[in-house]
Structure 1
Amino acid sequence: MQALEHIDDPRHPSNGTLHDFREILVITICAVLCDNDTFEKMVAWARYKRDWLRRFLILKNGIPSEETFLRIFRLMDPKQFETAFRTWAGGLLPALEMEQLAIDGKTVRGSSRGGRQVIHMVSAFATQAGLVLGQEKVHEKSNEITAIPALLESLQLKGLLVSFDAMGCQRDIAGQIHEQGGDYLLAVKGNQPSLLSIVEAAFIDAGDTPKTNARAERSHGRQVVQLARVLPAAGRVDIEAWPGCETLGVIDSLRQVGDKRGQWERRYYISSRTLSAEDLAHAARAHWGIENRLHWMLDVNFAEDASSVCKDYAPENLSLLKKIVLNLVRPVPMGKNGKMSMRIKRKAAAWDDDVRAQFLGLTSP
């Protein structure tokens, strides 16, 4: 409630407002927490749980209509909502000294209905904690590169390792992370041909001398073999172009499913942190956690791509709302060995008032 109080109510007072703006936002958070991903379901859940909500909300005129919820999310300033989210999320993680921050984008496919151009959101994901720290919408007729600097500027990067795929391998982005006190890990591909040639040549010249880490893993009929190697960047990379660059890396990986013969894949990296081969392998795996621990989660467990909400600011605000709930649910261990799935956790919140209060950090009345 404290984080939400700095968001302006988008409704015009002269038209009369029956329902408290912050209470509407809290209801939606509670409803999505309880596995309700559409405004129709949110309203239905809130009406059934009216007495429980009144334990900490006034609800002077009852539960708002579905149209009221939708209107709020269409008109609410997403920048203010995002600022409130970052303030709240920052409070969840007071110390991030050894954390890795993965930056990557996701298209909200359902937002293209009605002839509207699909929206694309870039998120910052703390890979160890499994929490989202911020998001930034990519402007129409642009790409992730334009949204990344604004997202980075809003975050405290000191001491963090910030990782990107090849899209984020840009001199300005590396310089910004370095200036903000963080370290970067950038995948190098053909969009930076000169840098790619330098890194490739360095490992060819080094032959078998780089420090190496090998790893093999079998799971569900799949076998993955990974070989990571690192070299010092000194004397090889232009430090003015890539500030603070300390490490060059290459990872060769083979993925084989069943009896099908796999193919080796090679990926190159640069980093401003001094990394061992083991460190590089771990950080590269951690970066791709954003795909299955955030993007996949939003699609499969929060039905983001299936949403029919597509007008005004609603898709952007609804995407952030689901990330708020993910941050509420993920840190709370439940079930055998604390490994209950996200889907069952949300259903448990819907079934049990005490479980819901636990996720929200409330003392059960």
Structure 2
Amino acid sequence: MRAQACEVLEDSSAPRLPFPLGVVSVDGKSLWTTHQGEVEGLEAVANDEEGRALWRLGALRAVLTSALAAPCLDLEFIGAKEGESPAFRQLLPRVVEAFGEHFGVVTADAGLTAAQNAALVRELGKHYCFGLKANQPTLHEYAMRAIASKQCPARSRTEERAHGQTVVRELWTHALTPDEVDFPGARTLLLVRQQHWDDEDNLRAEDYRYFVTSLDTTVFNFHQLLRLVRVHWGIENRHNWTLDVVLGEDARQPCRPTRTALEVVAWLRAMAFNLLACFRTRLPPQGRHLVEWTRACELLRDSLVHGRRQTALATPD
């Protein structure tokens, strides 16, 4: 898969988002959970509500979300009694060694927000943007107070239509002075408020999310910081969702329920996703949007089965 990813990254014509630095997003995803019987190579993690033993395998994924195709770069598998943070410290150095020239920022959800992980990112010469929740109570509460005390207009704002509603996202920031917080390399605290409004201007949903980052506005401007947060969420929308819904990762598993089989199939699915996603970004768009995933699957199948001539009208040179 490394050769496949390198080929994508070294293609200067591959569509990318307008960031000053490339962005790799890291996120965990379950591969297999069962109580049907012992799984070779896995330890039982716990018991379910009915007292039955559970076997579980997940994977931490590194995805280049600053590329429109969002290709997967690497995986680190996580057994039942293994944690995401130790997996992150195994995964990131490999990703930097193999693909470091193609990105400068690492994003992750609050589950990976830890001083040791932040220090590792900075030691490897990259910036981070990590989510903040109650697992970092001191820093989370400080961010809430510091940004609330500003009482100023949002630094950046976007508005778009999605699923019959208007989605408004706004960004507030707090620039940190050296040693203001005890977190390695922290330069800025972020608040993103997301609101969903119906066509009658009724507020249907509202969400507040906090972040800590080593970036400041000399590297990313306010609009780019707001977009960076949304790009991280893209690992769920563009990568994990596609693996589940289009490639059936959750619904279909190897015929032999062993850890080795699960890992091999996970690699194959990641490679299949990269191929499909890169093919999809090269198809003529449908208005302002990329071709639907199901249609991209059909066109790729026809191209592989019947040859390029059959899809020449649908696929650009």
Structure 2 residue matching 1:147: 3-state secondary structure: helix
* Cα distance change of structure 1 residues 312 and 246 upon mapping to structure 2, 3 Å threshold: closer
Q: Which residue of 1 aligns with 2:89?
A: 149
**2:27 pairs with 83, 104, 113, which one?**
104
1:349 and 2:300 equivalent?
yes
Q: Which residue of 2 aligns with 1:170?
A: 114
Q: Which residue of 2 aligns with 1:230?
A: 173
Cα deviation code 1:234-277 (max 9, x no counterpart): 15633xx4222211111112124677742422111111111433
1:266 and 2:208 equivalent?
yes
- More relative contact order, 1 or 2 (CA 8 Å, 6+ apart): 1
- Superposition RMSD on alpha carbons, in Å? 2.7
- For residues 98-137 of structure 1, the aligned pairs below 5 Å read 98-109=21-32, 113-116=36-39, 117-129=55-67, 130-137=70-77
Amino acid at match of 1:268: Y
Q: Which residue of 2 aligns with 1:25?
A: none
Amino acid at match of 1:188: L
* Cα distance change of structure 1 residues 343 and 199 upon mapping to structure 2, 3 Å threshold: same
Query: Which piece of structure 1 moves more, 312-321 or 114-123?
Result: 114-123
Shift of residue 211, structure 1, vs aligned partner: 6.0
* CA contact 2:56–2:79 (8 Å) conserved in 1: no
Amino acid at match of 1:285: R
Structure 1 residue matching 2:95: 3-state secondary structure: coil
Structure 2 residue matching 1:206: 3-state secondary structure: coil
Cα deviation code 1:182-218 (max 9, x no counterpart): 100011110001111221221133222x761122222
* Cα distance change of structure 1 residues 235 and 351 upon mapping to structure 2, 3 Å threshold: closer
* Cα distance change of structure 1 residues 99 and 270 upon mapping to structure 2, 3 Å threshold: same
1:245 and 2:186 equivalent?
yes
* Cα distance change of structure 1 residues 357 and 112 upon mapping to structure 2, 3 Å threshold: farther
* CA contact 1:350–1:356 (8 Å) conserved in 2: no
Shift of residue 138, structure 1, vs aligned partner: 1.0
Higher helix share: 1
- Structure 2 distance, partners of 1:152, 1:307, is 29
Q: Which residue of 1 aligns with 2:2?
A: 86
- Structure 2 distance, partners of 1:280, 1:336, is 27
Structure 1 residue matching 2:194: 3-state secondary structure: strand
Cα deviation code 1:326-356 (max 9, x no counterpart): 2122223124559333333333333343249
- Structure 2 distance, partners of 1:356, 1:342, is 21
* Cα distance change of structure 1 residues 111 and 346 upon mapping to structure 2, 3 Å threshold: farther
1:326 and 2:279 equivalent?
no
Q: Which residue of 1 aligns with 2:42?
A: none
* Cα distance change of structure 1 residues 108 and 199 upon mapping to structure 2, 3 Å threshold: same
- Give me the identity figure in percent: 24
* Cα distance change of structure 1 residues 120 and 237 upon mapping to structure 2, 3 Å threshold: farther
- For residues 296-311 of structure 1, the aligned pairs below 5 Å read 296-309=241-254, 310-311=257-258
* CA contact 1:163–1:287 (8 Å) conserved in 2: yes
- Structure 2 distance, partners of 1:357, 1:318, is 30
- Structure 2 distance, partners of 1:131, 1:308, is 22
- For residues 180-191 of structure 1, the aligned pairs below 5 Å read 180-191=124-135
- Structure 2 distance, partners of 1:227, 1:335, is 32
Q: Which residue of 2 aligns with 1:201?
A: 145
* CA contact 2:23–2:104 (8 Å) conserved in 1: yes
Shift of residue 312, structure 1, vs aligned partner: 3.2
Amino acid at match of 2:92: L
Amino acid at match of 2:296: K
Shift of residue 152, structure 1, vs aligned partner: 0.4
Shift of residue 291, structure 1, vs aligned partner: 0.7
Q: Which residue of 1 aligns with 2:50?
A: none
* Cα distance change of structure 1 residues 335 and 140 upon mapping to structure 2, 3 Å threshold: same
Query: Which piece of structure 1 moves more, 290-299 or 309-318?
Result: 309-318
* CA contact 1:163–1:184 (8 Å) conserved in 2: yes
1:285 and 2:201 equivalent?
no
* CA contact 1:110–1:304 (8 Å) conserved in 2: no
Query: Which piece of structure 1 moves more, 267-276 or 181-190?
Result: 267-276
